[in-house]
Structure 1
Amino acid sequence: MDWDKLRIFHAVAEAGSLTHAGETLGLSQSAVSRQIGALEAQLNVTLFHRHARGLILTEQGELLFRTAREIFSRLAVAEAMIADSKDKPTGELCVTTTVAFGTIWLAPRLKEFIELYPDLRIEMVVDDRELDLSMREADVAIRMWKPTQADLVYRKLITVHNHVYASVDYVTRHGAPQTIEDLDNHALIVYGEEAPAHFNNINWLLEIGSPDRPRAPVLTVNNVYGVMQAVASGLGIAALPDYMVEGNPRIVRVLPNIDGPSFDTFLVYPEELRNTKRLAVFRDFLLRKVADWHY
């Protein structure tokens, strides 16, 4: 099988479009189409169903795509190990975590890491969905839950605690609640109906002290970073992870005697990358940052 054609097929299958694959590969749409047609002729099968909205893999195409993904994944590992055979960690490291944790906690700490290891290129992907590390959608993840896949290595990072917060502006205008019952008379902001299943009772603020008659929120947001921004604007009160308000002068803790649910965060990576230098230095850096961070 022609290697160049397989590479182009892999790009088209991932993109679902000849045009988008061509942009990634630096080829024209017609050139990509010719290569796919030639591969289909060589294999004597149809690899894609073509329709107005894009391309869909046929059954034979799915089989070839799964094989191609595995091949390119193994090649990426080999490339990383070759790069790690040098004295200094080099190459690329793709790190993924949630939007809130990546934006607020991780991103500000990457400057120091990049200065320590200038030959490493970091790609940070913030996404509240779980990227597939086994299929190399990322190299390493910081997750808000313990992984269940047997081929993934994980290590606990920090325990995240949740408390009740409001903005200085909100407290100035409406006062701070003094008791749990006072929450009945305040504007509450919560995550929303599609809260991640990994989090236990993420909207506990609606029920605490009133389990039989949950409070009605003034706003629901399906991203905790959005909840924090709404709180900072002065809209209302919300339960937030403590790390999100660290150093934010606009947000203050209210009901200081009330503790919300806590959860552990984990550094997660594929077993095959365990001994690579680029991952080892990133892991050690994060563990130092965690040891120095208390909130």
Structure 2
Amino acid sequence: MFDWQDLRYFHELARAGSLSKAATELSVEHATVGRRIASLEATLGLKLVHRLPRSIRLTEDGLVVAELAATISESAQAIESFALRAKSALSGVVRISVPPTVGNFCVAQYMQTFHEAHPSLKIVMANTPDIAALDRGIADIAIRMVKPEEPSLLTRRIGMIRFGLYASRAYASRPAAQWSFIAYDASLNHVKHQTWLRRFVDGRPIVFETSDVIAQQMAARNGVGVAVLPTLLGERDAELVRLDVEAGPPEAALWLVTYPDLRRARAIKAVMAFLVDCIDREPLLKSA
């Protein structure tokens, strides 16, 4: 395989028409150009240049190689231009998985700011309370409410989500013994505040189960029962009141998660910084 630099020198020689002019364009000694051309001829096994006293003339083979070299030179310049654009502007797609409350009422709220800063970088967001499997390509970055156990993951605690018991104003006037409850379905029994609720019920009925926290909020507003909701939802809903209980639902830390190799990508870094900033802007999600 020939040296690409040899080909670049030959391309410049063919364009300039003499060793001295090519050397000037390349900012080297004309002897250097001569050595490069000789090296290319030796590698290809072809005579490319007739050396005349004051100029050069390409051989028949040299004319063909020069034409091909021009195409390669254009491609190289296109690659350089692409690299410059890629360095100056982030682009591509980054997939994130976040808890629904964080996604709907925090991340989405600031998405326009991110888009204005990075117009060529698209975020695809999955709102799910489940633990996204990053190793299956479901997401590049995740915010989890459970501390990751996988040793290969890069993790960082970025905030705290808090919960309370909420009901409609009319429902809240009932004695606690008459409360019915709204809960997550069994697929989310591992979540700390769900485990707490199952104990707190203490024999009272759970009348509605759903994995959708917004559906829980709507059901509570309409008097279906009492729900454990993130304070980010409950405190901002004028139709709900927070019920006073002696020991309320537990808090859950928010963990930012990705793989170390992905973390090195500029697009991943930008989205991770954006997610941290989203949490920092929201007082109800900040760590104590």
| TM-score range relative to shorter protein | 0.5 to 0.7
Query: Could you tell me whether the CA contact under 8 Å between 1:84 and 1:276 is conserved in 2?
Result: no
Query: Could you tell me whether the CA contact under 8 Å between 1:188 and 1:217 is conserved in 2?
Result: yes
Query: Structure 1 pair 283/226, CA: closer, same or farther in 2 (3 Å)?
Result: same
The CA distance in 1 between the partners of 2:117 and 2:248, in whole Å, is 38
The CA distance in 1 between the partners of 2:142 and 2:88, in whole Å, is 25
**Does 2:104 match 1:103?**
yes
Q: Which runs of 5+ in 1 are unaligned?
A: 1-81
The CA distance in 1 between the partners of 2:154 and 2:203, in whole Å, is 40
Please state whether the residue corresponding to 2:203 is helix, strand or coil.
Answer: coil
The CA distance in 2 between the partners of 1:96 and 1:84, in whole Å, is 29
Query: Could you tell me whether the CA contact under 8 Å between 1:221 and 1:227 is conserved in 2?
Result: yes
Match in the other structure for 2:140:
139
**Does 2:165 match 1:176?**
no
The CA distance in 2 between the partners of 1:83 and 1:282, in whole Å, is 21
Query: Structure 1 pair 196/118, CA: closer, same or farther in 2 (3 Å)?
Result: farther
Query: Could you tell me whether the CA contact under 8 Å between 2:193 and 2:251 is conserved in 1?
Result: no
Higher helix share: 2
The CA distance in 1 between the partners of 2:235 and 2:88, in whole Å, is 37
Matched to 2:263, the amino acid is R
Query: Could you tell me whether the CA contact under 8 Å between 1:83 and 1:91 is conserved in 2?
Result: no
Please state whether the residue corresponding to 1:134 is helix, strand or coil.
Answer: helix
Query: Could you tell me whether the CA contact under 8 Å between 1:90 and 1:121 is conserved in 2?
Result: yes
Structure 1 residue 200, shift from structure 2 partner:
2.6
**Does 2:192 match 1:200?**
yes
Query: Could you tell me whether the CA contact under 8 Å between 1:206 and 1:216 is conserved in 2?
Result: no
Match in the other structure for 2:184:
191
Query: Could you tell me whether the CA contact under 8 Å between 1:93 and 1:121 is conserved in 2?
Result: yes
Query: Structure 1 pair 237/84, CA: closer, same or farther in 2 (3 Å)?
Result: farther
Match in the other structure for 1:215:
204
The CA distance in 1 between the partners of 2:152 and 2:242, in whole Å, is 41
Match in the other structure for 1:244:
233
Match in the other structure for 2:80:
none
Matched to 1:105, the amino acid is C
| Structure 1 runs, 4 residues or longer, greater than 6 Å off | none
Query: Could you tell me whether the CA contact under 8 Å between 2:193 and 2:228 is conserved in 1?
Result: no
The sequence identity of aligned pairs, in percent, is 23
Match in the other structure for 1:128:
129
- Deviations, residues 249-285 of structure 1 (Å, cap 9, x unaligned): 2222121664211111111111111122212222222
The CA distance in 2 between the partners of 1:135 and 1:218, in whole Å, is 36
Query: Could you tell me whether the CA contact under 8 Å between 2:183 and 2:216 is conserved in 1?
Result: yes
Match in the other structure for 1:163:
164
The CA distance in 1 between the partners of 2:103 and 2:124, in whole Å, is 12
Query: Could you tell me whether the CA contact under 8 Å between 1:144 and 1:263 is conserved in 2?
Result: yes
Report the TM-score, using the length of structure 2 for normalisation: 0.62
Query: Could you tell me whether the CA contact under 8 Å between 1:161 and 1:261 is conserved in 2?
Result: yes
Query: Structure 1 pair 83/154, CA: closer, same or farther in 2 (3 Å)?
Result: farther
Query: Structure 1 pair 294/153, CA: closer, same or farther in 2 (3 Å)?
Result: same
Match in the other structure for 2:280:
291
Larger-Rg structure: 2
- Deviations, residues 34-59 of structure 1 (Å, cap 9, x unaligned): xxxxxxxxxxxxxxxxxxxxxxxxxx
Query: Structure 1 pair 285/154, CA: closer, same or farther in 2 (3 Å)?
Result: same
